[in-house]
Amino acid sequence: WRVAGRRWLRYADPMAQQRSILIVGGGTAGWLTAAYLARALGQRAAITVLESPGIGIIGVGEGAFPTIRTTLRHIGIDEARFVREAGATFKQGVRFDDWLHSPTPAGRHRYLHPFDAPYQAEGTDLVAHWLLKPASAREPFAEAMTIQNRVADAVRAPKHSGEGDYDGPLAYAYHFDAHRLAALLRARAVELGVRHLEGELRGVETGEAGIGRVHTDAHGALTADLYVDCSGFRAELLGRALGGPFRSAKAHLFTDRALACKIAYDRPDTPIESVTTATAHEAGWIWDIGLQHARGLGCVYSSAHLSDARAAEILRAYVGHDRFDARIIPFEPGWRETQWVGNCVAVGLAGGFLEPLESTGIVLIEAAAAMIAEFLPFGGAVSASASRFNALMGARYGAITNFLKLHYCLSRRPEPFWRDNADPASIPDTLGAMLAEWRHRPPSRFDFLVGTESFAPFNYQYVLYGMGFETDLGQDAGGGADAAHAERLFERIRSFGRQAVAELPEHRALIRQIGEGV
Ligand code: FAD
């Protein structure tokens, strides 16, 4: 009924309520929003994107979350085209090295946050059975709960070739080249009827509605019913022109710089990892992403705890040589409290950014684009749902802050950066309260509000139990026949895992096959 009703509304009189939308910025945020809105609004919107090739895009943001599959399907890009044109590889989760403690002669700590949900068995709560085992008798949580750990360790792809678009036996996302992704989204948006202007915004007139008009170097003055600020950290419209207040997350999340580079593979057939590797160091962590033609790396750190020179040294030690150029990207973790003001809404870095961990930048762009598409009224002021948008986006940023902080605050590393992260004063109250509750029960779906949460309770479980957090279920829960049944289920997961490793293609081989159109 809903779909039929919307169709009718859209086609009854296509031009009746057409809105003009001007998107300033042609990075991932600008082009993803343009393509998303073009597809969702059809004739209801006339969309223009203004971008400045001279200023360029930030060019990082090489990892996504599984929500990207739904977004790309909605936009109408098929998976093979996406893999070929964005230079994409498959991502099955994030592997965390050295987050619990620093490497010791006895070994390193490692855990996986896989994208696949824990195996669900009717009538048997496997999480509870895992928690009831003595710590010494447990497999790592992700290994016990899913087959994805084994598949990723064996450098296998999460699906077979020829399996449906954006579909497969395991949840997955992608790694990709940020420049090629923006180019692909641009090509798709233009196919969908979006007008593309190259030029630079040089001035903004504000008015009662918010933005009055914008002045450009090459196209004169431009006006629109709705302005979308996708101008990256410059935040030309919502930040500079309208002065939207910025809410810093610095009290909770300490990293504020990244030193990013690309490293070529040693050989053309070097296996490509299908997880992001996140390796902790004395004052932050390093991302290591397997792209098609190179690895993307970045040393993320807190400038209050580490000098740029020391960060460069840490990155060189990780890479094993110094034959690469790296660039420093400073950022301030936080978000604009009101992201939609009158006729102007910010999406992407212009609206906020927390830090690269867990790839939440693009997740937030997807959420904002979908909300704009559904909140844009068929009549009346474009800003009718602005306060609802602001409340939902603010809550989403807050929830992500909690999830990211969880990765840091459970660490037992001794360096000042990690001790400061474990200081209860740096833990948001809402996270502190949940951690206290999780001492006696695991995270539940009722801990989170649907609509403001980007992560599921199981994402929290993977991080909590990967980091050695103990949830005490009491001594007598479970046991007996039920425990024996749970053991059989754990064995079934192990055996499915072995089978999947034997049957799934090697990751690089699948990428090559897709590239060749086989
Ligand atoms: P940009 O890419 O900076 O684009 C801004 C656009 O605005 C450009 O086209 C520019 O030319 C244009 N512009 C600016 N000013 C003007 C003007 N005056 N006139 C005309 N045009 C103008 N996200 C993830 O999801 N996963 C990750 O792994 C990840 N890693 C990250 C690592 C780092 C270090 C950082 C800083 C961010 C990371 N992000 C990540 C976030 C991600 O990079 C961004 O969310 C994403 O790239 C979107 O950027 P953007 O389009 O908002 O900005």
25 is in an annotated binding site: no
Per-residue confidence band for 121, with pLDDT thresholds at 50, 70 and 90: confident
- Give me the percent of the chain exceeding a pLDDT of 90: 89
Model confidence band, residue 5 (pLDDT cutoffs 50, 70, 90): very low
Is 378 inside a domain boundary? yes
Q: In the predicted model, is pLDDT for residue 518 greater than 70?
A: no
pLDDT tens-digit readout, 265-284: 999 999 999 999 999 999 99
Q: Residue 244 — pLDDT band, cuts 50, 70, 90?
A: confident
When divided into structural domains, the chain yields a total of 1
Mean pLDDT, residues 31-47 taken together: 97
* Ligand 1 atom, smallest distance to 360 CA: 25
Index of the ligand 1 atom closest to the CA of residue 331: 36
User: Is residue 147 a part of any domain in this protein?
Assistant: no
The Å distance, Cα 483 to ligand 1 centre, comes to 50
Q: What is the pTM of this model?
A: 0.95
CA distance 123 to 265: 47
Any domain includes 405: no
The yes-or-no answer on residue 405 being catalytic is no
**Average pLDDT for the chain:** 94
pLDDT at 16: 55
Tokens coding 200: 């630079």
Q: Report the separation in Å between the CA atom of 353 and the middle of ligand 1, taken as the mean of its atom positions.
A: 10
What percent helix, strand, coil does the chain show, rounded to 5? Answer: 40, 20, 40
> Is 38 contained in some domain?
yes
Q: Is 173 in the pocket of ligand 1 (CB under 6 A)?
A: no
**Strand pairing report for 294-301 and 257-264:** antiparallel
Per-residue pLDDT band at 474 (split at 50, 70, 90): confident
Residue 516 reports pLDDT greater than 90: no
Distance from C-alpha of 326 to C-alpha of 315, rounded to nearest angstrom: 9
> Would the pLDDT of 11 be above 60?
no
Q: Which two tokens stand for residue 110?
A: 């490692």
Ligand 1 atom at minimum distance from 351 CA: 52
- Which token pair is 438? 């999780």
Let me know if residue 326 belongs to a domain.
no
Ligand 1 center to residue 361 CA distance, Å?
9
Query: Is 209 a member of any domain?
Result: yes
Question: Given CA atoms 34, 35, 41, 44 in this order, what sign does their dihedral have?
Answer: positive
pLDDT tens per residue, range 142-162: 999 999 999 999 999 999 988
Return all residues near 152 (Cβ < 8 A) that are at least 6 apart.
Answer: 92, 93, 95, 112, 114, 273, 274, 275
CA distances from 458 to 146, 170, 447 (A): 11, 15, 12
In this structure, what CATH number is given to the domain that contains residue 370? Answer: 3.50.50.60
ipTM (interface predicted TM): 0.99
Residue 345 in any domain: the answer is yes
CB 231 within 8 A of CB 24: yes
Choosing from 94, 349, 455 the residue with most ligand 1 atoms within 8 A of its CB, the one to mutate for a pocket test is 349
Tell me, yes or no, whether 155 lies in a domain.
no
For residue 81, what are the domain limits? 17-88+175-246+333-399
Task: Tell me the average pLDDT across 78-106.
Answer: 96
Arithmetic mean of pLDDT, 347-364:
97
Residue indicated by tokens 């959420």? 367
